Structure 1
Amino acid sequence: MNDQTMKCVEISEPGGPDVLKLVERTVPDLTDGEVLIKVGAAGVNRPDVIQRKGLYPPPPGASDLPGLEISGEVVAVSDGVETLKIGDKVCALTNGGGYAQYCNVPAEQCLAIPAGLSMEEAAVVPETFFTVWFNLYVQGGLKEGQSLLVHGGTSGIGTTAIQLATALGVKVYTTAGSDEKCKACEELGAVQAINYKTADFVEVMKEATGGKGVNMILDMVGGEYIARNIKCLARKGRLINIAYLQGSKAEVNFMSVMMKQLQITGSTLRQQPLAVKSQIAQELKDTVWPLIEAGKVKPVLHSSFDMGDAAQSHVLMESSQHIGKIVLKVES
């Protein structure tokens, strides 16, 4: 048993941002296949907010602490790990527990920090890049020359999807909630950004595509967007849902789905088995890391907070005023 202690942020009870408390806990023990990472920074993501509210419980065996992505230094290696050694600088997709000075992570969910990224930038790469790659390319089969509509273009997922798909030869459209956010999306590579507060994205997309529609839509809004998305899709198009900010229930006329041979799917990353996450990590290393190191794709870091100010980071996340990612700095 490990008797060292660490500072971490726990959810004292389900509720608002003020339930996030800085406490001391024992440094986690390792099981086979894991490494212990001394955390330098931890990404703040929408699932952390949902977990804080008591609506997204961690999977069995995972830490109850929030935090799905980190960067830092490997300080201990368990039996059976041959790919990493003490002293390696990595970023990692965690199963939880990132808001802490130390975090145990399966070795297969760790990747070397891409050359040129700071510790804080590296911390906000894993969760969004794993999610975007899995949904667009593993699940969705997105191909060069196709078209993609991304809702929530200035979110962490959105800024990643715009850059990555553009770099891989896809024509990307997006929606955002202000002219400033639309401008930011276009600077990241979107061919057209639609202010959903002042324009109907269904009509805009119909005009932009000459009535054909787009090949794929990545949606985290849900609700009444689901039926509208179906109208925007081209024949044999794919609708991929990864969140439901407006709710997961919708009234949909499935005649269009049948007539246009559409595919509707979705996923959550946290529930995927280790083998799937390991496959994603390898594909990111082979295809995406070179794009990051060449400067063609880069995490968009909006703001950073000290770990003790985790509550303020969640206030910002829920305000949706940010463009890009939010990070917690973890001091040793």
Structure 2
Amino acid sequence: MKAVVIKGKGGPEVLEVVDVATPEARGEQVLVRVHAAALNRADLLQAKGMYPAPAGAPADIPGLEFAGVVEALGPDVHDAVQVGDRVFGIVAGGAQAEYLTTHPRMLAKIPDALDYEAAAAVPEAFLTAHDALITQGRLEPGESVLIHAAGSGVGTAAVQIARAMGCSVLGTSRTADKLEKAKALGLDFAIVNPSGAFADEVKRHTGGEGVQVILDLLGARALAENLAAVARRGRIVVVGLLTGAKTEIDLNALLARRAAIIGTTLRARPLEEKIAATRLFAAHVVPWLERGVVKPVIDSTFALDDVRKAHERMASNEGFGKVVLKL
């Protein structure tokens, strides 16, 4: 099969499309013929040698989400999926290839209205956003939520999920253009924050109370403002570290707010926890996709042989939504 392989450490230049052995479905695994795979920032970090794949995942084939067709079932698979099913899901690595193997409970069926490119733009973004907002952040209908990097893949998914729950949705971005596009997805209040200051704007839009939940994809440089912007007994859910991983924390501010800071990642979780998150996604988000309540947001689509251009687009931070590879 053809696959994107990381040759060395660096930027898009270390990526090559080569022929590798096709995996086999063994035990309780299914073989999926991948038709499209979306990119994530983790792919860029893995190419640089900064985010190695966990044990059991292909060490040199990037890709965390995919859409395709079930090609074969392992001998221990019973009833979860059938050969020919259109499916999408997340993996710990190896999605940027023509075939992959995964656990059947890590798959969800693609709604009829979505083609493979659109479906590939869903799993990582919507699973991450749903898990961070609802499972980790305990977001309740009608609460207020602040979503950083609202134009990113996770950001656009989070905006739509929060809107579907009837929440008041605030969002930040470095550019007004991305925020304007996010308004069409359900963003109520846009905050352009090139300087990193946003707490005063959050308070202005929330009557001085702050927001109940903050979905933070920024990391270090946003922490102090997050603590100033979160409501009493609010929850700050840290998903990304775009501005760094280390910073000081004002514990007085944390105590005064009686707030919680929650760190979360999907890739490093045990299989059982990933399955649980996938089943909640299938139960709650897929029906929204079927009814058009939420939708994937695609920035651009590239052929597999143009994977370097796709990674360059991802690294530029200029996109709105997901970058997708068509296989």
TM-score range, shorter chain: over 0.9
CA displacement at 1:47 relative to structure 2: 0.7
2:20 is aligned with 1:25: yes
Distance 2:75 2:226 in 1: 48
Q: Please tell me the residue identity of whatever aligns with 1:184.
A: K
CA displacement at 1:296 relative to structure 2: 1.0
Matched with 1:244 is 241
Give the TM-score taking structure 1 as reference length: 0.95
Contact 1:144 1:170 in 2 (8 A): yes
Secondary structure in structure 1 of the residue aligned to 2:307:
helix
Match of 2:295 among 295, 298, 301: 298
Contact 2:196 2:222 in 1 (8 A): no
Matched with 1:68 is 64
Q: Please tell me the residue identity of whatever aligns with 1:60.
A: A
CA displacement at 1:182 relative to structure 2: 1.3
CA displacement at 1:61 relative to structure 2: 1.3
CA deviation vs aligned residue, 1:128-179 (integer Å, no higher than 9, x gap): 1111111111111110011110000000000000001111111110001222
CA displacement at 1:198 relative to structure 2: 7.1
Matched with 1:95 is 92
Secondary structure in structure 2 of the residue aligned to 1:245:
coil
CA displacement at 1:276 relative to structure 2: 1.4
Match of 1:180 among 157, 174, 177: 177
CA displacement at 1:199 relative to structure 2: 8.2
CA displacement at 1:227 relative to structure 2: 0.9
Alignment of 1:182-331 (within 5 A): 182-197=179-194, 200-330=197-327
Alignment of 1:39-58 (within 5 A): 39-58=34-53
CA deviation vs aligned residue, 1:71-109 (integer Å, no higher than 9, x gap): 111111012212111111111211211111111111111
Distance 2:153 2:65 in 1: 13
Q: Please tell me the residue identity of whatever aligns with 2:162.
A: A
Q: Structure 2, unaligned stretches of length 5 or more?
A: none
Contact 2:67 2:88 in 1 (8 A): yes
Q: Structure 1, unaligned stretches of length 5 or more?
A: 1-5
In the TM superposition, structure 1's runs of 4+ consecutive aligned residues that sit over 6 Å from their partners are none
Contact 1:221 1:243 in 2 (8 A): yes
CA displacement at 1:236 relative to structure 2: 0.3
Distance 2:148 2:258 in 1: 22
Contact 1:9 1:20 in 2 (8 A): yes
| Alpha-carbon distance change, 198 to 179 in structure 1, aligned in 2, over 3 angstroms | farther
Match of 1:142 among 132, 139, 148: 139
Distance 2:197 2:66 in 1: 38
Give the root-mean-square deviation of aligned CA atoms: 1.2
CA displacement at 1:197 relative to structure 2: 2.4
2:129 is aligned with 1:132: yes
Secondary structure in structure 1 of the residue aligned to 2:102:
strand
Give the TM-score taking structure 2 as reference length: 0.97
Distance 2:196 2:107 in 1: 42
Q: Identity of paired residues, percent?
A: 38
Q: Please tell me the residue identity of whatever aligns with 2:70.
A: V
Aligned length: 325
Contact 1:227 1:250 in 2 (8 A): no
Secondary structure in structure 1 of the residue aligned to 2:20:
strand
CA displacement at 1:31 relative to structure 2: 2.9
